[in-house]
Amino acid sequence: MKFLRDESGEVLVFPGLFGTRGQLRAAELHGEGARKPGLADAQPSVIRRRAAHCCFYCRWCEASILLEHNSMGMMFGQPAVRQIDARSIATICRGCGHVGDYSLFRACHGFETRHKIIDSEAVGKTILVDWLHCEEKTCTARVPFFMTMENPMEEMEGRKLEASWLWEGVECASGHPIVPTTLGIWGKG
């Protein structure tokens, strides 16, 4: 067994070499010439990447919306690690097509106690599409519009999808209505 300590002092215990390749390597190191049946024939499993995701719930259909936190500039993390400084975000619900504003900060528009950061498998790529501005000209609160794209879309397909989005009730962190905009991202990978 191997004992390792991480930087917080936690002890991690590993049972020696593990996995198919580890067992084959252990057999070679210990001089066991005969390979065990089934180990060489085993197919390697698909490695899935897990990451921290912001989990928001749509106000209209209650569907969960997952956005990768690191791709959002860690904006809901500790102040020292934030790459994007904004109090709320806007995104599209794939379930009902509503654009909504969401936040993990208390006292900000879009905050709900159900919203949280969870560990989940990464699906698609979360991208910053545009910065949205509210109708109030003196307001300095810009809202980043994020979207998770699983596959690059063709321009016509993306424009058709964008035309079906519902923009009712989208507001900035201060509570001013957001001006619906046309996004120029379609056809980019």
Please, how many CA atoms are within 13 Å of residue 82, restricted to the half-sphere of its CB? 9
CB distance 18 to 30 below 8 Å: no
**What letter represents residue 180's amino acid?**
P
Give the Cα separation of 46 and 84 in Å (integer): 33
CB distance 5 to 11 below 8 Å: yes
pLDDT at 175: 87
* Of 189 and 54, the one with more pLDDT: 54
pLDDT at 152: 75
Tokens (6 digits) for 70: 């690191």
Tokens (6 digits) for 152: 């690059």
Give the Cα separation of 51 and 70 in Å (integer): 8
| Model-wide pTM > 0.75 | no
pLDDT at 32: 54
pLDDT at 22: 57
Q: Is 28 helix (H, G, I), strand (E, B) or coil?
A: helix
Q: How far is CA 90 from CA 1, 20, 76, 126, 179, in A?
A: 49, 44, 14, 13, 12
Q: Can you tell me the mean pLDDT for 91-112?
A: 90
- Say whether pLDDT at 99 is over 90: yes
Please, how many CA atoms are within 13 Å of residue 159, restricted to the half-sphere of its CB? 5
CB distance 143 to 135 below 8 Å: no
Residues in the chain: 189
Give residue-wise pLDDT tens across range 16-71: 544 555 566 656 656 655 555 555 555 556 667 788 899 999 999 999 999 998 88
Give residue-wise pLDDT tens across range 104-161: 988 888 889 889 999 988 888 888 888 898 888 888 888 999 988 887 777 778 788 8
pLDDT at 174: 86
pLDDT-derived band of residue 189, with 50, 70 and 90 as boundaries? very low
CB distance 86 to 173 below 8 Å: yes
